Homo-oligomer: A and B are copies of this chain.
Amino acid sequence: MAKTPKGFRLHIGLYGRRNVGKSSILNALTSQQVSIVSDIAGTTTDPVEKPMEFLPIGPVLFIDTAGIDDSGALGRKRVSRTRAILDRTDVAILVVPAGEWTSFEDQILKELQHREIPVILVFNKSDLSSAGEQCCRQLFDQGIALVHAVATRGEGMIDLRQALIQVTPDSFLQAPPIVADLVPPGNLAILVTPIDIEAPKGRLILPQVQSIRDLLDGNALSMIVKESELSTALDLLKTPPVLVVTDSQAFLKVAADTPDFIVMTSFSILFARAKGDLEAFVEGAMAIETLRPGDHVLIAEACTHHPVDEDIGRVKIPNWLTEYVGGKLEFSFVRGHDFPGDLRPYQLVIHCGACMWNRREMLSRQLFARKSGVPMANYGLTIAYTLGIFDRALSPFPAARQIYLDRANQKNRNS
């Protein structure tokens, strides 16, 4: 992470008067993360900058504009300091004490809009005041993202994260590599692609094509085989592959045929990372452990007409889950953009890999599920969990795997 050039980080400017709660917002926002937030040492030369890995966006740089305060009109000196920060702001968070809108906020907002910098207004301490509703209405009509927060209690932070994902420019919301970062240049990955899954004649399904292309882009090599030819493929090689990726449906056979020392995962897990927040999906999948007979599971598919998914989502996953739980579960199915506005009736949501979607859409659904307090897993992770190969399937992703290991350790200590 330390190697991410500053220019590739999303620069998030925190604007606001003194004592409006900028630091509380920053602390609340970053401490509530599922994933590892690691401050980088050696940034003391500019103490108001906080570079960090802010998942799921990736590398960001928070810039605290302490010093731009509320002492009257913007003076010349302060204007030039502010301009220097505005110049490098990709996304602005303007923190306003609820009910205390002043000319300072007017001026900053005007400047941000003039520069076409996406802005999120955070009305902090909104428990103390319900004023400012009128200005809200007006700002909302302008399409500005509004968040009500009580930073000291951590309230509103999911909304703020959601708003950040919404306003972050595409270039910063780029997906991580699908697989190329796991296979160094000149090294080989074996991709196991069963074809009994009724992929259209003469075609490969999208995750396979995208994985092959991603490896080509990374100057890596890929070998494409059916599950029945995996052993033959391994025998052909002088040096074993650094990674084996399989369609989840062939997970058990591929796990058995791949020597333990070779890292192995599935296309669906690769896409859980590329199209969403893998760590959050891992947390979601672990909720399978707490499922009880009679619980209600929602299975969500992005595609509306792919016959392949029908089989996995409608038949195989329900069967595996039922077997794992050891009793009848209630299943509901949704497809495409037909997603319930209320997830509370469900104990678990299981989402497909969403290979056809952009990252923003999947991330938004994940945050919506978290806000609803309902765990959300994806197909590949669910299959790996119910088949008992969760740990191994996460082996390429140490941070995600650690979440599982910590939970497993905790459970062992408790039992």
Cβ distance A256 to chain B, nearest Cβ, rounded Å: 19
A90 CA / B139 CA spacing, docked (Å): 73
Among B188, B213, B236, point to the contact of A238 (Cβ < 8 A): B236
Residue-by-residue, is A364-407 near B (CB-CB < 8 Å gives 1, otherwise 0)? 00000000000000000000000000000000000000000000
Cβ distance A262 to chain B, nearest Cβ, rounded Å: 14
Cβ distance A236 to chain B, nearest Cβ, rounded Å: 6
Residue A129, interface by CB 8 Å: no
Contact assessment for A210 and B221 in the assembled complex, using a CB-CB cutoff below 8 Å: no
Cβ distance A368 to chain B, nearest Cβ, rounded Å: 26
Cβ distance A227 to chain B, nearest Cβ, rounded Å: 11
Contact assessment for A203 and B213 in the assembled complex, using a CB-CB cutoff below 8 Å: yes
Among B224, B235, B237, point to the contact of A212 (Cβ < 8 A): B224
Cβ distance A118 to chain B, nearest Cβ, rounded Å: 24
Contact assessment for A223 and B226 in the assembled complex, using a CB-CB cutoff below 8 Å: no
- What is the copy number of this chain in the assembly? 2
Among B199, B213, B229, point to the contact of A186 (Cβ < 8 A): B229
Residue-by-residue, is A192-229 near B (CB-CB < 8 Å gives 1, otherwise 0)? 01010001001110000110111111011111111011
A223 contacts which chain B residues (CB < 8 A)? 188, 221-224
Residue A233, interface by CB 8 Å: yes
In A162-210, the 8 Å CB interface with B consists of: 186, 188, 193, 195, 199, 202-204, 209-210
Contacts A222-B224, A224-B221 given; does A202 touch B195 at CB 8 Å: no
Residue A71, interface by CB 8 Å: no
Contact assessment for A221 and B237 in the assembled complex, using a CB-CB cutoff below 8 Å: no
Residue A239, interface by CB 8 Å: yes
Residue A409, interface by CB 8 Å: no
A212 CA / B229 CA spacing, docked (Å): 14
Residue A232, interface by CB 8 Å: yes
7 closest A-B pairs by CB = A223-B223, A186-B232, A222-B224, A221-B225, A202-B210, A195-B216, A212-B224
A209 contacts which chain B residues (CB < 8 A)? 202-204, 209
A203 contacts which chain B residues (CB < 8 A)? 209-210, 213
A195 CA / B220 CA spacing, docked (Å): 12
A239 contacts which chain B residues (CB < 8 A)? 236
A193 contacts which chain B residues (CB < 8 A)? 216
Contact assessment for B210 and A236 in the assembled complex, using a CB-CB cutoff below 8 Å: no
Cβ distance A126 to chain B, nearest Cβ, rounded Å: 42
A202 CA / B177 CA spacing, docked (Å): 11
Contact assessment for A221 and B229 in the assembled complex, using a CB-CB cutoff below 8 Å: yes
Contact assessment for B214 and A202 in the assembled complex, using a CB-CB cutoff below 8 Å: yes
A236 contacts which chain B residues (CB < 8 A)? 188, 221, 237-239
A229 contacts which chain B residues (CB < 8 A)? 186, 219-221
A-B contacts, 24 of them at CB < 8 A, read A188-B233, A188-B236, A195-B213, A199-B213, A202-B209, A202-B210, A202-B214, A203-B209, A203-B213, A204-B209, A204-B213, A212-B212, A215-B224, A216-B224, A216-B225, A219-B229, A220-B229, A221-B223, A221-B229, A221-B232, A222-B224, A223-B224, A224-B224, A238-B238
A212 CA / B226 CA spacing, docked (Å): 11
Q: Taking CB as reference atom, which chain B residue is nearest A201? A: B213
